[in-house]
Amino acid sequence: MTKTVLTNDMVAHVWAHQTQDYARTANGNMHFDGPVLYSYSTPIANIVDGVALVTTERYSITTTGKHMPGHRELNGVRAWFNVPFIGAWGGRAWGGDRLSTWPERHAANLAHMVKAYADRVASYKRMRSFWFSNAQDVAAYLEEHYAKDARRYADTFGLPLPILNTMADADSIWQAKLARDTPEALAKRQRDAAKRAERKAAKEAEERRLASLAWIEGGSRRPYGGPVLLRVFTSGRYGSKHLETSLGATVPLDHAIKVFRFVKLCREQGREWHRNGHTLRVGHFQVDHVLPNGDFHAGCHFITWAETERLAGLLGLLDAAPSADGLEASHHAA
């Protein structure tokens, strides 16, 4: 028994192979009836003489992103093209393809492809910069993405081949680029790019600063990027205090205070410490490395002395005595 209720992908595959006359998705949002593929009630593709014509129109996100057939589904057809006139109408495309004969449609589709090629050439002549290394790269791109399909369409449906001289057009594009790329123009673009980058960096820094302040003051959204931040919160029935990092880790506050006192000791002595034989526990984690300036690593966290000192000041701990009391012999550490 032929199945007529299929997934989106399978509806497109079965339509492309034309192994049955009809199929639809379970919700009915996508279906085909003979050679015409529909998204809701709008035709989005039509198979003509074994060739798939897929509309260039764009509708809803669902139609464009989920229903429109692509390379995977169209591997089984003789050829396929994205064109404005597919010879089917209805739904949101009602009245959109009223050319009366296929010769008229094919001529209009080919004209659309040739115009797309010409528009691309014109736009490249105006562009101040692009990613091509030389005129040959430009010609190869024009051929692969524009000229080739226009020639294939003309050959497939017996139309006069369009005259598209990709190498000559690429040379004119490259000469226009060279004319624009004077030393003065390039220097100005570099200055403008540096200013844009500076403004962007300043904007991002200000956004991080505001996000950091909001998080420190109790906000739920953790700041993205920048140094690791610290804050204290109270939880549980008995009001136990914990330290939380902006990376989402939490540890008992009393453990964090022992770490602060040890880091302060290393800083005052100007010495570096590595976990080796002794362990400095902090909740489920361990301090791995303390730098002479008081910055330290604990797992995936790198916490600066400035941030540690800021929080210690808020907690009234700046005068706490430096101490190594938090160190444990490694075989005792959890």
Task: Give the pLDDT confidence of 159-204 residue by residue, as tens digits.
Answer: 999 999 999 999 999 999 988 888 888 898 899 999 999 999 999 9
Domain boundary at 67, 93, 119, which? 93
Whether residue 288 is contained in a domain is answered as yes
Please indicate, yes or no, if residue 192 is contained in any of the structural domains: no
Interatomic CA distance for residues 289 and 153, integer angstroms:
66
Comparing C-alpha atoms, which of 257, 254, 255, 293 is closest to residue 273? 293
User: What's the chain's average pLDDT?
Assistant: 90
Nearest to 129 by CA among 197, 192, 199, 198: 192
Q: How far is CA 90 from CA 40, 98, 113, 138, in A?
A: 10, 11, 24, 39
pLDDT value at 96 more than 70 = no
Asked if 61 and 110 sit in the same domain, the reply is no
pLDDT value at 333 more than 50: no
What pLDDT, on a 0 to 100 scale, did the predictor assign at position 260? 95
pLDDT of 334: 41
Same domain for 235 and 318, yes or no, is yes
- The verdict on residue 64 lying in a domain is yes
244 contact partners, CB below 8 Å, separation of at least 6: 230, 231, 232, 233, 250
- pLDDT value at position 238? 64
DSSP string spanning 47-84? Answer: EETTEEEEE-----HHIIIIIS--TTGGGGSSEEEEES
In a domain, 325, yes or no: yes
Q: How many domains does the chain have?
A: 3
Using CA atoms, how far apart are residues 291 and 304, in angstroms rounded to an integer?
10
Answer whether residue 76 shows pLDDT above 80.
no
Considering the domain architecture, whether residues 247 and 304 belong to the same structural domain is answered as: yes
% pLDDT > 90, the chain: 66
Report residue 130: phi and psi, to 5°: -155, 180
pTM: 0.58
Residue 280: domain span: 230-332
Instruction: Out of 62, 93, 124, pick the residue that ends a domain.
Output: 93
Q: Please, what is the angle between helix 102-126 and helix 166-180, to 10°? A: 30
| Most confident stretch, 67-71, 79-83, 115-119, 275-279 | 115-119
Same domain, 236 and 322: yes
pLDDT of residue 85: 92
Same domain, 120 and 83: no
Same domain, 244 and 314: yes
Asked if residues 292 and 272 have their Cβ atoms less than 8 Å apart, the reply is yes
Residue-wise pLDDT tens digits, 122-151: 999 998 778 899 999 999 999 999 999 999
Within a domain: 190: no
284-296: average pLDDT: 94
Q: Compute how many other C-beta atoms are within 10 angstroms of the C-beta atom of residue 263.
A: 26
Is the domain of 88 the same as that of 123?
no
Interatomic CA distance for residues 33 and 21, integer angstroms: 6
Q: Are residues 320 and 238 in the same domain?
A: yes
Cα gap 125→40, rounded to integer Å: 41
Verify that 311 and 245 share a domain, yes or no. yes
Which pLDDT does position 331 carry in this prediction?
Answer: 57
> For residue 216, is it within any domain?
no
Are residues 317 and 237 located together in one domain of the fold?
yes
Q: Which of 63-67, 185-189, 271-275, 324-328 comes out lowest in average pLDDT?
A: 63-67
Angstrom distance (rounded) from CA 9 to CA 305: 56
Tokens read off for 9: 């992908």
Q: Please report whether residue 205 resides in a domain.
A: no
Mean pLDDT of 267-294: 93
Assigned domain for 21 exists: yes
CB atoms within 10 A of CB 153: 23
- CA–CA dist 85, 57 (Å, integer): 9
- Final residue in a domain of this structure, among 93, 112, 130: 93
244 and 318 in a single domain? The answer is yes
Is the same domain home to 74 and 112?
no
pLDDT at 8: 83
Position 86 pLDDT exceeds 70: yes
pLDDT at position 52 over 90: yes
Structure tokens given for 2: 């032929």
317: nearest Cα among 267, 252, 266, 253: 253
